[in-house]
Amino acid sequence: MSFGIIKYGDSPKAGVKNCLNQLLGFKLDTLQMANPVQYYYSAYSAYAYIGHQYFEKIVKDSGRHIDHRPFNLIKCINNVGNQPLSDRTEASLEYYFQRQRDRWSEFRNVEMPRQTPRSHSNAADLADRILIAGIFADINIDQLAFKFMLSHWTRNTDLTNENQIKEILISENFNAEELLKMASTKKIKDTYEQNTEKAIALSVFGSPTYFVDEDMFYGQDNLELVERALKRPFKKS
């Protein structure tokens, strides 16, 4: 049985590719890697929290991975012209952020207290930037993102409070000091701003928003459609 030949002059990478091409009987170049699923969200988003674990599961089942894009939700909403919460009616807020939240958390089997966290009106940019720092540190942040969301919604964690965030990082065995230091660098802040500007350019108007091969799905209530798109793309309009 022949295992292929690495030709003289080949780079190690090219040599290995040639061997595998001969073994498999076709060129590896013909294989297309599936695109990651882009995930625009903020760490304090109620509906990102409710849908996160199911989203993580369906992406993993599809053989793809998540491309995390934490972004400044408030800035995005203001720029794309979406109605801010302060302008919504009491009935609208009660329905969407209480009754629907209760239903979906029960449906997804996610713990969700009825009372909104005391610090929810604060920005979540520190937690968001730490997630970006984790990406640059080559950390799989799927679970860390969920831990931030879980702690915020079930333990009243203030995602702007450095000490409280440090406790989460230490409990998850991350180098808290290093990630906090990275989160304050220009590189991470610039990436956070770029994520936000990209979201605005894509007309993202809320969190969470998912992109499957450039097809946008807003809200965790569309995750079943995301799941279908991962298996079979929808027809273009």
DSSP for 171-220 reads: HTT--HHHHHHHHTSHHHHHHHHHHHHHHHHTT--SSSEEEETTEEEESG
Contact 50, 219 (CB under 8 A): no
**Average pLDDT for residues 152-173, to the nearest whole number?**
95
Q: What is the pLDDT of residues 38-95, one digit of tens each?
A: 999 999 999 999 999 999 999 999 999 999 999 999 899 888 766 666 677 788 778 8
What is the pLDDT of the chain when averaged over all its residues?
A: 86
CATH of domain 37-231: 3.40.30.10
pLDDT at 123: 77
Pairing, β 66-70 against β 37-41 = parallel
Q: Predicted confidence band at 1 (pLDDT cuts at 50, 70, 90)? A: very low
**Average pLDDT for residues 157-172, to the nearest whole number?**
95
Closest CA to 191 of 234, 112, 129: 129
pLDDT higher than threshold 60 for residue 5: no
Within 13 Å and on the Cβ side, how many CA atoms surround 5? 3
Q: What are the residue ranges spanned by the domains of the chain? A: 1-31, 37-231
3-state DSSP call for residue 177?
Answer: helix
3-state DSSP call for residue 13?
Answer: helix
Q: What is the pLDDT of residues 111-149, one digit of tens each?
A: 999 888 888 877 789 999 999 999 999 999 999 999 999
Structure tokens at 104: 């979906």
Backbone angles phi, psi at 198, to 5 degrees: -65, -40
Calpha distance 32→30 (Å, rounded): 6
